[in-house]
A = this chain, B = another copy of it.
Amino acid sequence: MPSTAVLEALAAFVEERDWAQFHSGANLAKSVVIESGELLELFQWTDEAPRDDVAAELADVLSYCYLLAMKLDLDPDKIVLDKLEETRVKYPVEKARGRSEKYDQLPD
């Protein structure tokens, strides 16, 4: 999972500013999307975006993801690994190899 230091730093940042009052699930989910849009803006007309800019925007997306995870007492690593297990089943290697279709459109 993100190191405890990261989660603790985020939690302390919010606590010091008394911002938990604004962090409803809906508001955090909105924030994840808003920051994702800023990340995408770096790639609006191009495949190449400045690495430092990507780092800064990606950090914002991750921060709100971690805040939402903490709010719901979800372990970021565990949910990623759990979901990956499900995705493995939906996209078996022999069917999905080298293909970008959605699982329900993959040829048998």
Contact = CB atoms under 8 A, between A and B. Distances in A.
Interface residues of A, number: 71
Contact of A96 (B17, B29, B87, B96): B17
A86 B30 CA distance: 22
Interface string A8-19: 011001001111
A24 to B, nearest CB: 5
A43 B30 contact: yes
Interface of A: 1-3, 5-6, 9-10, 13, 16-19, 21-22, 24-27, 29-34, 36-49, 51, 54-56, 58-63, 65-66, 68-69, 72, 74, 76-77, 79-84, 86-88, 91, 93, 96-98, 100
